[in-house]
């Protein structure tokens, strides 16, 4: 009987040791993939605009996919994700690590802003286009002198008024025309817009300085439903 018990104990020990040895020889469970980290979780850009996003903490080399196609272009350059807007819309780009880890970024593409004043800003012809269609032109030629004198006033020089002014007067001062506003001559919508003529001062609906460049100023004003514009030098009080 003792012999049988001894055999059973030895068998149990052998089975236990065999199991331990089996566990020791089993391969380790695969490591979980590393999830790449992006420097941004979302981007908004215009059509044609590009933006870079840094990729880190994943396993390179990386790849990228996007859905739906056609909204934005994507490319991976090392640890940089490059996104380029194609057409307005929304998409999701997913960056994949080579070990299977992945992460996503949301993309919003907006329509490219159109500069409605681009042609006006490119025209450097010195002039004042009145709301009635009349165009007062500067004629910088000694052989063809202008019948007008053009003025630029940063304030307190003409008509004892602190407003900024720009305009013209006939040489005999029988008539004149000045656009006036409160503030400086920087680009943007101006406060307290008005027009001053020989008949007095009248309020304007708006004055917007479109551009100040190369010592010149591009300005548009509105009076009711009519609009006028001017391109003039902008420096000292007058020429």
pLDDT in tens, 105-143: 999 999 988 889 999 999 999 999 998 888 998 876 556
Q: Has residue 16 been placed in a domain?
A: no
Predicted pLDDT at 2: 53
Q: If we measure between CA atoms, which residue out of 188, 198, 192 comes closest to residue 220?
A: 188
Specify whether 204 is located in the same domain as 138. yes
Considering the domain architecture, whether residues 124 and 181 belong to the same structural domain is answered as yes
pTM of the model: 0.58
Chain segment 45-101, per-residue pLDDT in tens? 999 999 999 999 999 999 999 999 999 999 999 999 999 999 999 999 999 999 999
In this structure, are 146 and 224 located in the same domain?
yes
Which residue has tokens 């506003």? Answer: 181
Interatomic CA distance for residues 186 and 235, integer angstroms: 13
Confidence (pLDDT) at 205 = 96
Q: Does residue 75 belong to any structural domain of this protein?
A: yes
Same domain, 99 and 132: no
Domain that holds residue 96: 37-110
Q: Are residues 130 and 206 in the same domain?
A: yes
Are 188 and 96 members of one domain? no
Please check whether residue 1 lies inside any domain of the structure: no
Residue 212 in domain? yes
Is the same domain home to 93 and 200?
no
Domains: count for the chain: 2
Q: Count of residues for the chain?
A: 239
Q: Identify whether residues 102 and 147 lie together within a single domain.
A: no
Last residue of a domain, one of 61, 87, 110: 110
Are 214 and 132 found together in one domain?
yes
Q: Is the pLDDT of residue 25 over 80?
A: no
Average pLDDT, the chain: 87
User: Which residues, listed in sequence order, are joined to residue 152 by a DSSP beta bridge?
Assistant: 166
Same domain, 125 and 226: yes
> Looking at the domain assignment, is residue 14 inside a domain?
no
Does residue 18 belong to any structural domain of this protein?
A: no
Average pLDDT over residues 163-185: 93
Give yes or no: residues 130 and 106 share one domain: no
Residue 65 lies in a domain: yes
pLDDT-derived band of residue 186, with 50, 70 and 90 as boundaries? very high
Please tell me which residue, 59 or 26, carries the higher pLDDT value. Answer: 59
Q: Is residue 214 part of a domain?
A: yes
Task: Tell me: do 126 and 228 sit in the same domain.
Answer: yes
DSSP structure class, residue 89:
E
Angle at 203 between CA 230 and CA 127, to 5 degrees: 10
Dihedrals φ, ψ of 197, to 5°?
-130, 180
């Amino acid at each position: 009987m003792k012999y049988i018990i001894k055999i059973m104990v030895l068998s149990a020990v052998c089975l236990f040791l065999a199991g331990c040895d089996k566990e020791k020889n089993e391969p380790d469970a695969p490591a979980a993939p590393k999830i790449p980290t992006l420097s941004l979780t979302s981007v908004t850009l215009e059509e044609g605009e590009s933006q870079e996003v840094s990729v880190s903490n994943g396993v390179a080399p990386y790849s990228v996919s996007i859905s739906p196609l056609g909204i934005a272009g994507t490319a991976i350059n090392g640890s940089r994700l490059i996104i380029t807007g194609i057409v307005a819309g929304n998409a999701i780009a997913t960056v994949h690590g080579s070990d299977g880890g992945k992460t996503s970024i949301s993309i919003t593409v907006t329509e490219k802003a159109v500069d409605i004043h681009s042609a006006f800003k490119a025209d450097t012809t010195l002039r004042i286009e009145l709301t009635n269609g009349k165009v007062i032109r500067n004629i910088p030629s000694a052989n063809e002198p202008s019948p007008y004198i053009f003025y630029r006033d940063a304030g307190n020089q003409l008509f004892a008024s602190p407003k900024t002014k720009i305009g013209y007067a006939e040489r005999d001062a029988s008539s004149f025309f000045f656009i006036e506003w409160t503030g400086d001559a920087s680009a943007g919508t101006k406060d307290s817009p008005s027009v001053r003529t020989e008949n007095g001062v009248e309020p304007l609906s708006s004055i917007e300085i479109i551009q100040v460049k190369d010592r010149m100023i591009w300005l548009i004003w509105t009076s009711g439903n009519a609009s006028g514009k001017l391109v003039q030098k902008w420096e000292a009080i007058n020429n």
